[in-house]
A and B are shown apart, each in its own frame.
Chain A
């Protein structure tokens, strides 16, 4: 039986072997034929196309034919969330839509979905259909809490919660997951909501310098000196506390302040200022350079 099957591999083997030695060639030829015949008999059921594609060794695994795509068996009213429950790449045999994508070469049409790399590259939202989103939100709703109904407007929010703390979070892919801007904390508060009297308010504004905005009456403290966001937040609250308590301090100036208020001698002060000239009076330090502080408050 083996003698009648002319296999190209066998013929090439016999050619190589016969060149070396006559006896050796005879033995090896017979041995090789017996081995190859075993191979042929086991794979006798294979089709012609696979026999043609077999390599020189002749022991390659047979390739299965792909069955019909899953889209053929899909019904119109199926549960799509079961087909694409999570984010997955586009599979043409799983998506029953006649989608086309790509450049129409030679004024033709965009290529079909089978084996289409463009469709596989682009992120798809097949797992996030409106039905799926509603299902997810139904399950997540139990972890949410309601906003208090008494704080329905911005004014009420500002009245009861005057301090606004702003921070940023970042989500991106790159060489590093961390973003150095995530540690910055900005604290905004209106001075009218703090317990300050006239003198303390003016001292506070003087201490804040450019962090205070006159139009909106807002003090903005931005902290980024610490490595963690929590630390920066604590530092910002600490700065606010220190500013507040220092603005109420008034050692030498309070008496003069009270005198000036009661006796109402502002024209006298203006005269003194004119005499002393503006350059001499420096910006007041924490415990107050008396004249400079008086100048700033009265002018």
Chain B
């Protein structure tokens, strides 16, 4: 029976809160279905995060590493590449006083987290979870390295078949 019908029937027949809750749970579980196409294989998944606040990135790294561990993904490394600083020297005064400048700087901290040997479904779940909980003011870059088989049309050269046909 289709899931919508069973939920409606649960509401009508039983009407109790616990019954409806377990019907919803079965709904969620029944929505996990296997697709026909094979799962993609990612040899490496690199997540790079950049932000202006180091403590925010510290907390985010803790969250990312714990989430990877809980979902059963293998964490290769979680390192901190050196920060990038943009410096700017401007005139302190509105008019004249060239000898007096004021210096500003923008610090961009970054983190690099590498997860190895992930399937396509797990990668999609993990990345969506990570990206939904990305804090304000933090940017992310994901580099996916997928491993693929040689396609069938590259196995043997075309000219051999042409010669055989002649």
Mark A residues whose CB is within 8 Å of B: 87, 122-123, 125, 128, 130, 133-134, 136-138, 140-148, 151-152, 154, 157-158, 160-173, 189, 193-195, 200, 237, 240-241, 244-245, 248-249
Q: Which residues of B contact A237 (CB under 8 A)?
A: 151
Q: Quote the shortest CB–CB distance from B158 to chain A (angstroms).
A: 5
- Quick one: which of A144, A148, A171, A194 contacts B125, CB cutoff 8 A? A144
Question: Within 8 Å of chain A (Cβ to Cβ): is B2?
Answer: no
9 contacts between A and B (CB under 8 A): A128-B63, A134-B70, A137-B67, A137-B70, A141-B70, A143-B121, A161-B41, A161-B147, A248-B159
Structural contact, A164 and B146, CB atoms closer than 8 A: yes
Residue of chain B at shortest CB distance from A174:
B139
Q: Which residues of A contact B126 (CB under 8 A)?
A: 144
Q: Which residues of A contact B133 (CB under 8 A)?
A: 87, 128
Inter-chain CA distance A123–B156, complex, in Å, is 57
Residue of chain B at shortest CB distance from A87:
B133
The number of A-B residue pairs with CB atoms under 8 Å apart is: 142
Q: Quote the shortest CB–CB distance from B42 to chain A (angstroms).
A: 9
Question: Within 8 Å of chain A (Cβ to Cβ): is B142?
Answer: yes
Inter-chain CA distance A293–B24, complex, in Å, is 70
Inter-chain CA distance A216–B135, complex, in Å, is 40
Give B131-145 interface residues, CB cut-off 8 Å to A.
Answer: 131, 133-145
Chain A interface, DSSP helix/strand/loop, else mixed: mixed
Structural contact, B121 and A144, CB atoms closer than 8 A: yes
Inter-chain CA distance A282–B125, complex, in Å, is 54
Q: A164-B145, A241-B153, A241-B154 are in contact. Are A125 and B159 (CB under 8 A)?
A: no
Inter-chain CA distance A146–B122, complex, in Å, is 8
Structural contact, A123 and B137, CB atoms closer than 8 A: yes
Range, interface on chain B: 35 or more
Q: Quote the shortest CB–CB distance from A151 to chain B (angstroms).
A: 7
Inter-chain CA distance A194–B149, complex, in Å, is 11
Structural contact, B39 and A171, CB atoms closer than 8 A: no
Q: Which residues of B contact A130 (CB under 8 A)?
A: 66
Structural contact, A171 and B139, CB atoms closer than 8 A: yes
Structural contact, A171 and B144, CB atoms closer than 8 A: no
Q: Which residues of A contact B72 (CB under 8 A)?
A: 141, 144, 146
Inter-chain CA distance A160–B29, complex, in Å, is 33
Question: Within 8 Å of chain A (Cβ to Cβ): is B108?
Answer: no
Q: Which residues of A contact B141 (CB under 8 A)?
A: 168-171
Inter-chain CA distance A241–B126, complex, in Å, is 34
Inter-chain CA distance A258–B59, complex, in Å, is 66
Structural contact, B159 and A249, CB atoms closer than 8 A: yes
Question: Within 8 Å of chain A (Cβ to Cβ): is B43?
Answer: yes
Structural contact, A172 and B139, CB atoms closer than 8 A: yes
Structural contact, B121 and A166, CB atoms closer than 8 A: no
Question: Within 8 Å of chain A (Cβ to Cβ): is B21?
Answer: no
Inter-chain CA distance A115–B59, complex, in Å, is 24
Q: Quote the shortest CB–CB distance from B70 to chain A (angstroms).
A: 4
Question: Within 8 Å of chain A (Cβ to Cβ): is B94?
Answer: no
Q: Which residues of B contact A249 (CB under 8 A)?
A: 159
Q: A133-B67, A133-B70, A162-B150 are in contact. Are A172 and B140 (CB under 8 A)?
A: yes
Q: A154-B43, A195-B155, A245-B157 are in contact. Are A168 and B119 (CB under 8 A)?
A: no
- Quick one: which of B56, B137, B148 contacts A161, CB cutoff 8 A? B148
Which of A130, A133, A134, A193 is packed against the most chain B CB atoms within 10 Å?
A133
Q: A164-B43, A169-B144, A241-B153 are in contact. Are A133 and B63 (CB under 8 A)?
A: yes
Q: Quote the shortest CB–CB distance from A195 to chain B (angstroms).
A: 6
Structural contact, B131 and A171, CB atoms closer than 8 A: yes
Q: A136-B129, A164-B145, A165-B145 are in contact. Are A241 and B70 (CB under 8 A)?
A: no
